[in-house]
Amino acid sequence: MNGELKETKTSKTFPIIGMHCASCAKLIERQLLKTEGVNTATVNYGSEQAIIDYDANIATDEMLSNAVKSAGYKAIISERLASSSNHSEAVNAKSADEINKFDANALKDEEKKKELEELKLKVIVSAILSIIIFIGSFPNWFSGIFKVVSLGPIYDILSNNYYLLLLTSLVQFWAGSKFYKATWSGLRNRTASMDTLITVGTSAAYIYSLLVTVLPEVVERLGMPMTMYFDTAAVIITLILLGRYLESRAKAHTSDAIKKLMGLQAKTARVKRDGVEVDIPIEQVVAGDVIRVRPGEKIPVDGKIVEGISSVDESMITGESIPVEKRVGDVVIGSTINKHGTFLFTATKVGSDTVLAGIIKMVGSAQSSRAPIQRLADSVSSYFVPAVLMISVATFVVWFLFAGFGVGFGAMIAVLVIACPCALGLATPTAIMVGVGRAAEHGILIKNAESLEIANKVSKIVFDKTGTLTEGKPIITDVISTQTASVRYQNPFQIAASLEAGSEHPLAEAFVNKAKTEGMQLLPISNFMAITGYGIEGSVNKKKFALGSRSLLEKERISLERFEYDIDRLEREGKTVVFLTSAKKLLGIIAIQDILKTSVESTIAGLKRKGIDVWMITGDNEKTARALAEKAGIANVMAKVLPDQKAEKVNELKIQSLTTSNKHQNVVAFVGDGVNDAPALATADVGIAMSTGSDVAIETAGITLLNKNLETVLSALELSKKTLNVIRQNLVWAFGYNVILIPVAMGVLYPIWKITLSPEIAAFAMAASSISVVGNSLRLKRVRI
């Protein structure tokens, strides 16, 4: 129909400023989900990011921003101009710094910096005022000291109730203004947060003290004590602000990995324009530009070398310290460092399309995603604040009836302040952020938090053979002619190489390379066809030939009886044997060998020490597969598996009967690199792709290894284990803190030991709980993997 817009489903990630606890994130989620066109919304308190799936034809940036604003927070929804299609705007920008102003993350950092400075000012001012209020509130303690130093008149002013009211009002309504704003926003949206508890608790103390100051007769007539709580209100707000300031500073370090990656980007590029080499801002580089890189310089963007030879340090991307030799035709990655030679390359990917930009995006998305273990904390947090409000009222009523107003009022405020959903909200996301960032530093890209968590539970791991366990650079080792005098084709390898020249099979390159090395001319092939699971076929001078596995001969009913000895010898050496046939006759036997990667044996041994069952999957026959597996130290082999059967085999492993020793988990990981590995990577509980493989495999996998070192698999599993350990520690602390200290604040120890928890101590404990969770998560930055 004319004018009807086609649904455009897309996703967007953007920062949010102003969240203080998990309840804030829940409120923002609710408001985003109410927005027309938004299908799903996830807000992560730890990373302060929102991830939404929405229809771009319905939901606009303005609508999303307004939804967040209606919840009382600020969304930063912006895109870097240099990454957009509007190249002219980027080119017209005055400098790279000016362009960076359009980067949402840069804007977020700027906003967070302003927020931190404002918070710092409020902490300093409220701390000074709170000390004065505290001194003025206890004349029995301090009046004598002031008189000794001849400052008695000054203390009379400090201890004046109206003076204390003035100072406390500044702390309550200026320093604590955000608590009131957040509480009002929550009430408008029928929800409550940590700010609600702080507002109710401190306001109760402030209002009661106000009544004692302004209407003392009324308070006395009601039989209420003439106790002042100005110091309680001021000190609580100061301590909580101090806790938030320290927490914000600590949380800033959880995103160090992203900042470090962004700092790797080159600022300028030396580009050939109109025959002249000129230095231009990186944002002005376009695909197709020819760029010169000199020794010691960063490679500006991704591209392909067209002139020159050099070695490139790719450690910041892959984690491998040894420089990689680069020649004409080789791909170079933006932000890596040219070590020695000078070369020219053509830019192929710029802006948001570069490898580094993709890594930054993936790391950011993973840091903002939710792990399954977080669901319990989220569920508890959603009921936590209302439950605490009810508990605090019940606490006041009970103690008011049995011990009087003073005990009940203090206990009520202590309960309101001690409760801390903040620690619960931070327990998982802060650890995920640090863990994912730490992984990126070691060349491990984790797509989402779920993959990181599940990797800790892997009980079986399946390795694809070619390109994963092996170097992926097979060579021809043996060519055996089986022709008789009646057959005119004397060189079976020439025909085989000519057939393979049109094939996309991983082994094809070995045939073509050997033909080139020997100066062999390839023959023209017609009617070329790939036969899945069997091999390939084509015609030379109208005569049909086929090249393939033993299955091909079985299909053609060609006997191998005369050559079984030679075939058996080759297969026991771990070589793949293929056969050239024509007119149901065997013309030649060709053996190919792909050597194991140097890191395979140590990787397999490490996995076994972890108690993980290791499997190898390959299309090779049983003998060849077993020979290679034995060298690698792998006992479990799935041989003669067609490409489209890999996913099925992985699924079989997943549903196998669980052993008694492992009855609680049967998590299967698959490691592969090819296009035909994508279904298996998706089927496995954890898909691990080698970055040397296809884009499809990398897109499908939950974890991508940026280097060729297979030991990185061990590193990924170890990091998952350590991250989950930290998350569990955080959750135990967060839950334990509330389970133990809320009853103490309620006064359960008072009847026996006369122990109560003052509201000020409760505020200190609440702030300390959040800081301790963030600090524990930051330990992951130092762990060895």
Q: Does the structure show a pLDDT above 90 at 752?
A: no
Q: Does the structure show a pLDDT above 60 at 110?
A: yes
Most confident of 120-129, 665-674, 752-761: 120-129
| pLDDT band with cut points at 50, 70 and 90 for residue 675 | low
Q: Is the dihedral of CA 708, 710, 711, 712 positive or negative?
A: positive
User: For residue 41, which amino acid is it?
Assistant: A
CB 524 within 8 A of CB 545: no
Give the model's pLDDT for residue 88. Answer: 36
Tell me the average pLDDT across 235-252. Answer: 85
| pLDDT band with cut points at 50, 70 and 90 for residue 240 | confident
Higher pLDDT pick, 174 / 147: 174
Q: Does the structure show a pLDDT above 80 at 48?
A: yes
Higher pLDDT pick, 422 / 66: 66
CB 503 within 8 A of CB 541: no
Structure confidence by residue, pLDDT tens digits, 422-479: 777 788 888 998 999 888 888 888 988 888 989 999 999 999 988 889 887 788 989 8
Q: How many CA atoms lie within 13 A of 378 on its CB side?
A: 17
Cα–Cα distance between 385 and 193 in angstroms, integer? Answer: 6
Give the model's pLDDT for residue 321. Answer: 62
Give the model's pLDDT for residue 78. Answer: 59
- Candidates 660, 487, 519; CA nearest to 586 is 487
Cα–Cα distance between 353 and 349 in angstroms, integer? Answer: 5
Higher pLDDT pick, 664 / 667: 667
Q: Does the structure show a pLDDT above 90 at 669?
A: yes
| pLDDT band with cut points at 50, 70 and 90 for residue 33 | very high
| pLDDT band with cut points at 50, 70 and 90 for residue 89 | very low
Angle ∠(199,201,207) on CA atoms, nearest 5: 90
Percentage of the chain with pLDDT > 90? 27
Give the model's pLDDT for residue 688. Answer: 92
| pLDDT band with cut points at 50, 70 and 90 for residue 99 | very low
Q: What is the pTM of this model?
A: 0.74
Give the model's pLDDT for residue 102. Answer: 42
Q: Does the structure show a pLDDT above 60 at 368?
A: yes
CB 715 within 8 A of CB 704: no
Q: What are phi and psi of 417, to 5 degrees?
A: -85, -35
Q: How many CA atoms lie within 13 A of 143 on its CB side?
A: 9
Q: Does the structure show a pLDDT above 90 at 339?
A: no
Q: Does the structure show a pLDDT above 70 at 5?
A: no
Q: Is the dihedral of CA 362, 364, 367, 372 positive or negative?
A: negative
CB 611 within 8 A of CB 599: no
- Candidates 19, 18, 63; CA nearest to 38 is 63
Percentage of the chain with pLDDT > 70? 89
| pLDDT band with cut points at 50, 70 and 90 for residue 91 | very low
Report strand pairing: 302-307 vs 343-349: antiparallel
Structure confidence by residue, pLDDT tens digits, 488-503: 556 888 899 999 887 7
Give the model's pLDDT for residue 576. Answer: 84
- Least confident segment among 111-115, 141-145, 554-558: 141-145
Give the model's pLDDT for residue 594. Answer: 83
The CB density around residue 59, as the number of other CB atoms within 10 Å, is 20
Report strand pairing: 535-540 vs 526-531: antiparallel
CB 506 within 8 A of CB 615: no
Q: Is the dihedral of CA 444, 450, 456, 458 positive or negative?
A: negative
Instruction: Give the 3-state secondary structure of residue 616.
Output: strand
Cα–Cα distance between 27 and 425 in angstroms, integer? Answer: 13
CB 301 within 8 A of CB 337: no
Q: Is the dihedral of CA 39, 44, 47, 48 positive or negative?
A: positive
Cα–Cα distance between 681 and 461 in angstroms, integer? Answer: 11
| pLDDT band with cut points at 50, 70 and 90 for residue 589 | very high
Q: What is the largest CA-CA distance in the chain?
A: 125
Contacts 24+ apart (CB under 8 A), 466-469: 466/506, 466/507, 466/594, 466/618, 466/674, 467/506, 467/673, 467/674, 467/690, 467/692, 467/693, 468/671, 468/672, 468/673, 468/690, 468/710, 469/596, 469/597, 469/600, 469/616, 469/628, 469/632, 469/710
Give the model's pLDDT for residue 692. Answer: 61
Tell me the average pLDDT across 507-525. Answer: 87
Tokens of 738: 């509330």
Q: Does the structure show a pLDDT above 70 at 662?
A: no
Q: Does the structure show a pLDDT above 90 at 177?
A: yes
Tell me the average pLDDT across 302-324. Answer: 82
Give the model's pLDDT for residue 139. Answer: 79
Buried b / exposed e across 492-529, counting CB within 10 Å, b at 16+?
A: bbbbbbbbbbebebbbbbbbbebbeeeebebbebeeee
Q: What are phi and psi of 464, to 5 degrees?
A: -70, 150
DSSP letter string over 679-733? HHHHHSSEEEEETTS-HHHHHH-SEEE-SS-THHHHHHHHHHHHHHHHHHHHHHH
Give the model's pLDDT for residue 663. Answer: 47
Give the model's pLDDT for residue 659. Answer: 47
User: For residue 524, which amino acid is it?
Assistant: P
Q: How many CA atoms lie within 13 A of 308 on its CB side?
A: 22
Residues taking part in catalysis = 464
Give the model's pLDDT for residue 94. Answer: 36
How does the average pLDDT of the chain come out, rounded? 83
| pLDDT band with cut points at 50, 70 and 90 for residue 121 | very high
- Bridge partners for 290 per DSSP: 272, 346
Structure confidence by residue, pLDDT tens digits, 524-562: 889 988 887 788 899 988 889 999 888 888 888 888 888
Give the model's pLDDT for residue 214. Answer: 93
Q: Does the structure show a pLDDT above 60 at 773?
A: yes
Tell me the average pLDDT across 141-158. Answer: 76
User: For residue 97, which amino acid is it?
Assistant: D
| Domains assigned to the chain | 8-77 (3.30.70.100), 264-357 (2.70.150.10), 444-469+596-723 (3.40.50.1000), 475-594 (3.40.1110.10)
Structure confidence by residue, pLDDT tens digits, 382-430: 678 888 999 999 999 999 998 888 888 989 998 988 887 777 778 888 8
